[in-house]
Amino acid sequence: MNLSVSLYSMHTLLVSGEMSVCDVIEFFHQHGVEYVELLDIYLPTDTDKATALETIARLGMKVSSYSITNEFVLVTDDERKTQIQYLIDSCNTAKYFGTSTIRVFAGNIVPESLDDGKTFEACESLIVDSFRQCVGHAEKHSITYCLENHGMLAGKASQVRSILDAVGSPALKITADTGNFKLVGDDSYAAVKSLLPDIGFMHFKDIKRTEDGVWAGLDGNNYSGTILGEGDVDLAGIAVLLRDYGYSGCVSIEYEAQEVDCAKAVAASIAYVQGIM
């Protein structure tokens, strides 16, 4: 297994301008991290991409994933075609960064959309059709889309498994996010275990139940992100599970508490994951 950290872990500092993408990559390097997970939202221009790549090359680091933000559900038909093309075009960006992995989403629902019948069962065919239009290009270019269990639409292990089975392409695998499983009522350890054969990328995220949590779980509890190792997710057990299975991909830290001093929290999370790996 290889340790990575997502740029999203430093979201607070990136959006405030206190740190640049290159500053964050340097920070990860200083803490002994070899791989960085890049996100499209922080690299909007060709100049931004080139500057990040120069820093990565100078430090002798590697890109674990080029992670993109796509939406196949809450869009019109024309917008969905644009999203499909974006996944196709992102293969070139991933190759530019020297990675064969692209983290992707299925889509989202918002509370008001439930009244319109936007459940997983109602949206699955739309999601599957969208991926089917992308995977052929990815296969030709040896790129793997890794679908994250994300949000309330396709957050459960069973839902991600259903999409993968329906698409039926080696170019679509799974990004297993340990924190996201808990939000939809899945046990994180059991979910990862059930998906092991098709996991292409891992997100190590920790969350804990809190009275004033920022996320409402499907179990009726509220949750907040936390420093890895201080929450309710059995990350140590999952690390052993991955190691025993022979998982050889990247484990990318995604710290999502976004405290004011998130750099200190991310450093602590890195140290924790280095210890259990």
Dump pLDDT digits (tens) for 145-196.
999 999 888 999 999 999 999 999 999 999 999 999 999 999 999 999 999 9
| Domain count across the chain | 1
Pair 127, 172: CB distance under 8 Å: no
Supply the range of the domain harboring residue 217. Answer: 2-276
| Residue 29 belongs to domain with CATH number | 3.20.20.150
β-strands 215-216, 222-225 pairing: antiparallel
Taking the mean position of all CA atoms in its chain, how far away is CA 196?
16
Pair 70, 87: CB distance under 8 Å: yes
Beta-strand ranges (E) seen in the chain are 2-6, 35-39, 62-67, 101-104, 144-148, 172-177, 199-204, 207-209, 215-216, 222-225, 250-253
| Residue found by looking up tokens 């065919």 in the block | 125
pLDDT of residue 74: 87
Q: Which residues of the chain have pLDDT under 50?
A: none
pLDDT of residue 117: 60
Edge to edge, the sheet with strand 2-6 lists 62-67, 35-39, 2-6, 250-253, 199-204, 172-177, 144-148, 101-104
pLDDT of residue 219: 86
Say if pTM beats, i.e. exceeds, 0.85: yes
Beta-strand ranges (E) seen in 100-249 are 101-104, 144-148, 172-177, 199-204, 207-209, 215-216, 222-225
pLDDT of residue 214: 84
